[in-house]
Amino acid sequence: MKRKPTIHEVAERAGVGIGTVSRVLNNHPAVRPETRARVLKAMEELGYTPNPHARRIAGGRSYTVSVLLPFVATEFYRRLLEGLEGVLLEKRYDLALFPILSLARLERYLESTTLAYLTDGLILASYDLSERFEGGRLPTDRPVVLVDAKNPQYDSVYLDNRLGGRMAGAYLARFPGAVFAIKVEEEPDRVFRHTVFSERMAGFREALLEAGRPFPEDHLYVTRLSPEGGRLALRHFLEKASPPINVFAGADQVALGVLEEAQRLGLTPGKEVRVLGYDGHPFTEELGLSTVAQPVEAMGARAAQLLLERMQGYAGPPRAVRFEPTLIERSSTAPSKEAPYVP
């Protein structure tokens, strides 16, 4: 395999100095359009791509951003990364992912030796770090943006999960039949714990209360995040009440299992068993699963923008960007078009 072309070869081919090549690389305005075009062409022909290590050494920027995220494999993080990547790649930034498998690892990430620390900025997903670090601040001088989490010390992009829970409660309260809910359990051994599931459930209870609908304790089923948890939950609920019943599944993954089990039992979703998910993941559409949708990609994109601004020197106070969920009604709660939902 032959060596990667360098800036020198590009310069030679384009008939310019290496400084000029560097300028087009960095979108410096002081380059004549024709010159720029020639350089771009040379890069194209050579298959040139800049060496981030050299950029880091020379200019102090490596054009890569670290994303620290929980080591849980869900559609949520897939979508979040899509949102982040969308805006970052466009600005020619690269992402380095750092799944947090343990606290020791997180700390190592933040040590100065590791590459993670040597990137230009950090996105921290889903963790409330205030309890873990002194003063709630990460030991880094790089800009940091939180997403799916909130902290007064950093720019944060988050969803109002309590509102989402309230929407779910108000919606299901309209229907006849008992109301049930599934709460996703936080893993006890998870390095950091996030509170999204509790928040959803708190909002849900509030809304039911306001609607005057009873919600006895044994109408709540707690399980880990898995479709099988949803299956077990539905079996449990059917021992408590007869159809029609209404189930707020707390997460689309779990709602999927409720649908699977309903089908196995010959119960019609949207009729005998109304199921409402949470997340708005792509797969809900083809399943006809009603859901409280989070604009995950948009949240990721926004977080990336905030970080970009910080990396470009913005030094204002921490910003908190709040997103709201949307309830999407599909056949799992409303088989017919007769009664479209109007909040």
Partner DNA sequence: CTGAAAGCGCTTACAG
Q: Contact positions toward DNA, by CB under 7 A?
A: 3-4, 6-8, 15-23, 25-26, 29-32, 34-36, 48, 50-51, 54-55, 57-61
Q: Of the two residues 150 and 310, which places its CB atom closer to its own copies in the complex?
A: 310
Q: Of the two residues 54 and 339, which places its CB atom closer to its own copies in the complex?
A: 54
134-142: long-range contacts (C-beta < 8 A, 24 or more apart)? Answer: 138/110, 139/110, 140/110, 142/117
Q: Of the two residues 32 and 337, which places its CB atom closer to DNA in the complex?
A: 32
The minimum distance between CB 13 and DNA, in angstroms, equals 12
Q: Of the two residues 27 and 242, which places its CB atom closer to DNA in the complex?
A: 27
Site residues (vs its own copies, CB under 8 A): 1, 4, 49-54, 56-57, 62, 64, 70-73, 77-78, 81, 94, 96-99, 101-102, 111-116, 118, 141, 223-224, 226-229, 231-232
The minimum distance between CB 107 and DNA, in angstroms, equals 21
Integer Cα distance of 257 and 209 in angstroms: 27
The three state secondary structure string of 28-67 is CCCCCHHHHHHHHHHHHHHCCCCCHHHHHHHHCCCCEEEE
Q: How many residues in total does the chain contain? A: 343
| Binding partner at 268 among DNA, its own copies, none, C-beta below 5 to 8 Å by kind | none
Integer Cα distance of 275 and 238 in angstroms: 13
- Please state the separation of Cα 219 from the chain's center in Å: 29
Q: Of the two residues 255 and 327, which places its CB atom closer to its own copies in the complex?
A: 255
The minimum distance between CB 111 and DNA, in angstroms, equals 14
| Binding partner at 19 among its own copies, DNA, none, C-beta below 5 to 8 Å by kind | DNA
| Binding partner at 61 among DNA, its own copies, none, C-beta below 5 to 8 Å by kind | DNA
Integer Cα distance of 157 and 147 in angstroms: 5
| Binding partner at 23 among its own copies, DNA, none, C-beta below 5 to 8 Å by kind | DNA
Q: Of the two residues 89 and 339, which places its CB atom closer to its own copies in the complex?
A: 89
| Binding partner at 96 among its own copies, DNA, none, C-beta below 5 to 8 Å by kind | its own copies
Integer Cα distance of 53 and 59 in angstroms: 10
The residue among 335, 319, 341, 226 whose CA lies nearest residue 275 is 335
| Binding partner at 224 among its own copies, DNA, none, C-beta below 5 to 8 Å by kind | its own copies
The residue among 294, 310, 312, 313 whose CA lies nearest residue 155 is 310
Quote the tokens at residue 189: 């051994």
The residue among 216, 219, 202 whose CA lies nearest residue 168 is 202
Burial 201-224 (b: 16+ CB within 10 A, else e): bebbbebbeeeebebeeebbbebe
| Binding partner at 118 among its own copies, DNA, none, C-beta below 5 to 8 Å by kind | its own copies
